[in-house]
């Protein structure tokens, strides 16, 4: 038995994101209309052993805090997806 | 001075810094593999060299900052031992929690490889005693993520405690956004920890030590460290 999870890491508000800005500029130059802002982040697709939701969430929180996110500038969100 | 250079998979400046240490201080450093768990007995200075540890995967320095040897480096730092992180080494120090803040993508989004000018902010530290306060030195940078950032409270503390040792300036030592190559907050190029024994800096002083290939402004850092160790003995 294994569970699938997704951890999404995004930059905190107010942290300058030069990559997002460059993508935003490229979209403008491609003529994609209506986009006012782009912020780049990361998505981790993770499999967790067992079927205990609480212990999976605890492991994922530890993973996010210890390595996946740098909480100085990044936020993370954990979702169990099946 | 007994030095140890930590080698991670993807480090590539360990030879440069070892050569600089040998040339300036006369003693050859030990090379220590990242998977080791202890430093050689009597190590005075630990160097985290430049490069692309673990391919810069996840974030620069993120995985190296959690490598097995880092517990020994943390213990060495906690004892007051000297730690010098250059370029990727600075990123590793931030990711390992030994220094606050982190290094973001350069504001101009380009990898920058050229000589820059640094103003040495104070001369009363182990790392800067080989220079005069206010002295401007010329050393190279080679990085894509050197844009120092931290929250306002951390920056205020670093500035208030005089922990910014090097800043990007123009050749005369004046602050100028044009000469702040990577957009670092307050033009910060190098900072020390609270104890003053752990320095992280983005530029490469180890590459300007040999008169046969150019300027020698980097020598002061290594000479100063050797002097500091000698005086402490």
CATH 3.30.1280.10 fits A2-80, yes or no: yes
Which pLDDT belongs to residue A82?
A: 79
Query: Is B102 in the A-facing interface, judged by CB distances under 8 Å?
Result: yes
Confidence check: pLDDT of A1 > 80: no
Q: How far is B23 from chain A (nearest CA, A)?
A: 38
Q: How far is A76 from chain B (nearest CA, A)?
A: 14
Residues of A in contact with B57 (CB under 8 A): none
Which pLDDT belongs to residue A7?
A: 98
Number of helices and strands in chain B (H, E): 5, 11
Q: Whose structure tokens read 């120090």? A: B93
Confidence check: pLDDT of A68 > 90: yes
B87 classed as catalytic: yes
In angstroms, what is the C-alpha Rg of chain B?
Answer: 16
CA nearest to A44 within chain B: B58
Work out the number of other CB atoms within 10 angstroms of the CB of residue B148. Answer: 28
For strands B82-86 and B198-201, give the pairing: parallel
Distance CA B111, CA B146 (A): 9
Which pLDDT belongs to residue B109?
A: 83
Q: How many domains does chain B have?
A: 1
Which residues in chain B come in under a pLDDT of 70?
A: none
Question: Which DSSP state fits A67?
Answer: I
Which CATH number fits the domain that encloses residue B218?
3.40.50.880
Distance CA B81, CA B74 (A): 9
CA nearest to B64 within chain A: A67
Distance CA B168, CA B15 (A): 25
Q: pLDDT tens digits, residue range A3-59?
A: 999 999 999 988 888 889 889 999 999 999 999 999 999 999 999 999 999 999 999
The pTM for the full model equals 0.93
Region of A50 please: left (phi>0), alpha (psi -120 to 50) or beta. left
Name which of B66, B101, B102 is nearest A67 (Cβ-Cβ): B66
Name which of B101, B107, B151 is nearest A18 (Cβ-Cβ): B107
Distance CA B75, CA B70 (A): 8
Residue of B57, B59, B143, B157 for testing the chain A interface, max A β-carbons within 10 Å: B59
Domain ranges of chain A: 2-80
B94 classed as catalytic: no
Residues B34, B76, B143, B204: which is the catalytic one? B204
Spatial CB neighbours of B231, under 8 Å, sequence gap ≥ 6: none
Query: Is A68 in the B-facing interface, judged by CB distances under 8 Å?
Result: yes
Residues of B in contact with A68 (CB under 8 A): 58
- Which domain does B179 fall in, by range? 3-232
């Amino acid at each position: 038995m294994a569970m699938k999870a997704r951890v999404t890491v995004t930059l905190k508000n107010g942290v300058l994101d030069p990559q997002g800005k460059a993508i935003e500029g490229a979209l403008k130059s491609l003529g994609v209309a209506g986009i006012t802002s782009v912020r780049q982040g990361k998505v981790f697709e993770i499999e967790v052993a067992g079927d205990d939701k609480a212990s999976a969430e605890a492991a994922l929180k530890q993973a996010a805090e210890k390595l996946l996110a740098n909480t100085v500038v990044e936020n993370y969100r954990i979702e169990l997806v099946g | 001075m007994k030095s140890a250079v930590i080698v991670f998979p993807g480090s590539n400046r360990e030879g440069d810094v070892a050569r600089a240490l040998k040339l300036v201080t006369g003693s050859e450093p030990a090379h220590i593999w990242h998977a080791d768990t202890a430093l050689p007995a009597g190590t005075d200075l630990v160097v985290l060299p430049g490069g692309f540890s673990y391919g810069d995967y996840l974030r620069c320095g993120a995985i190296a900052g959690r490598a097995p040897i880092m517990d020994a480096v943390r213990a060495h730092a906690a004892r007051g031992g000297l730690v010098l992180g250059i370029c990727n080494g600075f990123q590793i120090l931030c990711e390992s929690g030994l220094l606050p803040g982190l290094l973001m993508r350069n504001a101009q989004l380009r990898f920058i490889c050229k000589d820059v000018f640094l103003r040495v902010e104070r001369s009363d530290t182990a790392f800067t005693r080989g220079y005069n306060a206010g002295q401007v030195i010329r050393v190279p940078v080679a990085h894509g993520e050197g844009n120092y950032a931290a929250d306002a409270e951390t920056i205020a503390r670093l500035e208030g405690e005089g922990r910014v040792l090097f800043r990007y300036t123009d050749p005369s030592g004046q602050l100028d956004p044009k000469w702040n190559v990577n957009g670092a907050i307050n033009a910060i190029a190098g900072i020390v920890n609270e104890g003053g024994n752990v320095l992280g800096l983005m530029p490469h002083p180890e590459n300007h030590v040999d008169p046969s290939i150019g300027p020698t402004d980097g020598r002061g850092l290594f000479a100063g460290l050797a002097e500091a160790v000698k005086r402490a003995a």
